């Protein structure tokens, strides 16, 4: 999942070799000419192989006739067709391509629905060279969007739960790394996953930052009331079952 915005310093552990970069073919679908040209220049400067552009989403679909791209970055806002229409039609033409949605306002442009529909990542604009590169690498080599998030009835609850799960993993890894030298190499990727999930929660929580805080408080309250041991959880289930009889 690509969840990188320019103001966030994330120790990025995923890498892409010059050979891998050169093999990538990118289609940039953006109707604003200056933004389109700047992105093409930035991607070429990062060493990506072929970069082609389209001045609208429908023109981007035409580019797919008879040609295969490894990556397509497309504007999440409406062009001559909606981004959802573009993604649906493009996926039907080229299911193996990695799609990234670019947006100045991911919540307003409903980027989350594009991720559910099949996009592998997103890019928050304005971007810098590092955030652009990381978004492409994360979408290519990073973990896909967690299924529990895509299918969640309560998006905020799922985002908070994933972030807190990653926090638990980081804490456990740090404790084990103090005892075992071999575990130390797991700290950077676990920490990066935590920061990526926290950034995603900040961007996509309904209600913005206040919505995130309210969901975090609710999650923490539930966790504080839950038994902390397997025996305690078993006792709670038995008591709950007795109450239902």
As a whole number of angstroms, the distance between CA 203 and CA 125 comes to 12
* Residue 90 pLDDT: 97
Q: What angle do CA 22, 116, 154 make, to 5 degrees?
A: 140
- Whole-number average pLDDT of the chain: 86
* Residue 10 pLDDT: 43
Which of 58-67, 169-178, 200-209 is predicted least confidently? 200-209
Express each pLDDT in 13-68 by its tens digit: 678 999 999 999 999 999 999 999 999 999 999 999 999 999 999 999 999 998 99
CA dihedral 151, 152, 155, 160 (to 10 degrees): -110
As a whole number of angstroms, the distance between CA 80 and CA 87 comes to 13
- Give which of 70, 122, 71 is closest to 101, Cα–Cα: 122
Sheet containing 98-103, strands listed edge to edge, beginning at the edge strand earlier in sequence:
2-4, 121-124, 98-103, 71-75, 25-29, 50-54
Mean pLDDT, to the nearest integer, of 82-102? 96
Check residue 184 and report its DSSP letter: G
Express each pLDDT in 221-243 by its tens digit: 887 776 555 545 545 554 555 55
Let me know: does 1 contact 121? Beta carbons within 8 Å.
yes
Is the pTM higher than 0.85? Answer: no
| Domain extent listing, the chain | 2-141, 147-225
Domain 2-141 belongs in CATH node 3.40.50.2300: yes
Strands 121-124 and 98-103, by their bridges, are parallel
* Residue 2 pLDDT: 44
DSSP codes of every residue in 132-145: HHHHHHHHHHSPPP
β-partners of residue 124 are 103
Region of 239 (left: φ > 0; alpha: ψ -120 to 50; beta: rest) is alpha
């Amino acid at each position: 999942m690509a969840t990188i915005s320019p103001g966030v310093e994330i120790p990025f552990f995923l890498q892409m070799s010059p050979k891998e970069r050169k093999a990538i073919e990118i289609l940039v679908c953006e109707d604003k000419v200056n933004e389109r040209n700047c992105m093409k220049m930035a991607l070429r400067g990062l060493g990506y192989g072929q970069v082609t552009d389209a001045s609208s989403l429908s023109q981007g679909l035409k580019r797919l006739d008879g040609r295969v791209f490894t990556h397509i970055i497309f504007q999440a806002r409406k062009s001559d067709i909606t981004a959802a229409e573009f993604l649906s039609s493009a996926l039907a033409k080229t299911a193996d391509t990695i799609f990234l949605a670019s947006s100045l306002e991911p919540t307003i442009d409903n980027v989350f629905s594009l991720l559910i529909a099949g996009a592998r990542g997103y890019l928050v604009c304005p971007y810098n060279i590092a955030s652009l590169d990381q978004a492409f690498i994360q979408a290519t080599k990073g973990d896909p969007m967690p299924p529990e998030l895509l299918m969640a009835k309560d998006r905020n609850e799922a985002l908070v739960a994933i972030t807190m799960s990653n926090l638990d993993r980081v804490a456990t890894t740090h404790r084990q790394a103090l005892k075992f030298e071999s575990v130390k190499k797991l700290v950077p990727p676990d920490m990066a996953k935590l920061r990526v999930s926290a950034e995603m929660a900040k961007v996509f929580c309904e209600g913005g930052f206040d919505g995130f805080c309210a969901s975090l408080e609710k999650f923490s309250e539930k966790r504080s009331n839950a038994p902390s041991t397997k025996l305690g959880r078993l006792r709670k289930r038995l008591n709950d079952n007795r109450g239902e009889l």
